[in-house]
Amino acid sequence: MGDMQGLMERLEHAVSRLEQLSAESHRPPGDCGEVNGVNGGVAPSVEAFDKLMNGMVAEFLKNSRILAGDVETHEYQEDRNDLMIPETELKQVAYIFKCNKSTLQMKGKINSITIDNCNKFGLVFDNVVGIVEVINSKDIRIQVMGRVPTISINKTEGCHIYLSDDALDCEVVSATSSEMNILVPQDGDYREFPVPEQFKTFWDGSKLVTEPAEIMA
């Protein structure tokens, strides 16, 4: 990802330089020896454009195609309860964006899953080796059939996580979210545990300590 970021920065710099050269090439003929190839030459903007397309842009497009091959994307699905990815690979990541009133099932083992801007969305998956992220969403239900080390919930209203027996060591990290529940299998059913939304912080004499706040009725 660092290489991609560097490539993007160089590309932005090259585009800025291209725009500058293009402006210079449109000066009146008296200000420069040639305009857009007139008088037998090639305008600086044309040379810069060719160099850009044959160099960094070509590299960027190549890397984009390689990256896209490892990304499973589901976007803008509505009222679909039959969505399925029958096979996944360890190197793949899944990005789910603006899917509403739908359910997606994923088979196999995948690197990571991101749910972004979804509403009333259900996800069932086998195994994730990295992280499952829920961002800017509402009423999300996640069922873990196998294992997942971490589930992150951020800026989300309503998230229910059904853990399997093998996923009881999963860590759930939450921020600016509400109505979160973790359901743990017990005696053939699930027992629901709410995730704290309010906390208290106090000084214990040497450091700050933060604990869930118990609100008395």
Q: What is the pLDDT of residues 37-48, one digit of tens each?
A: 445 555 565 565
Q: Is residue 102 within 8 Å of 124, Cβ to Cβ?
A: no
For residue 204, name the pLDDT band (cuts at 50, 70, 90).
very high
Confidence at residue 102, expressed as pLDDT on a 0 to 100 scale = 95
Confidence at residue 147, expressed as pLDDT on a 0 to 100 scale = 97
Nearest-angstrom CA–CA distance, 148 and 109: 10
Mean pLDDT throughout 117-128? 97
For residue 194, name the pLDDT band (cuts at 50, 70, 90).
very high
Residue 181 has pLDDT above 70, yes or no: yes
DSSP code for 9:
H
Q: What is the pLDDT of residues 142-162, one digit of tens each?
A: 999 999 999 999 999 999 999
Q: What is the pLDDT of residues 52-87, one digit of tens each?
A: 555 555 554 444 443 344 666 778 889 999 999 998
Residue span(s) of the chain under CATH 2.160.20.70 come to: 71-212
Note the CATH number of domain 71-212.
2.160.20.70
Confidence at residue 214, expressed as pLDDT on a 0 to 100 scale = 74
| Helix-helix angle 44-54:2-25, to 10 degrees | 160
- 148: nearest Cα among 165, 118, 127: 127
Confidence at residue 18, expressed as pLDDT on a 0 to 100 scale = 58
Which position has the higher pLDDT, 141 or 28? 141
Average pLDDT, the chain: 80
Confidence at residue 74, expressed as pLDDT on a 0 to 100 scale = 74
pTM above 0.85, yes or no: no
Q: What is the pLDDT of residues 3-54, one digit of tens each?
A: 555 555 666 666 566 566 556 555 555 554 444 444 555 556 556 556 655 5
Burial (0-12, 13-18, 19+ Cβ within 10 Å), 119: middle
Confidence at residue 19, expressed as pLDDT on a 0 to 100 scale = 61
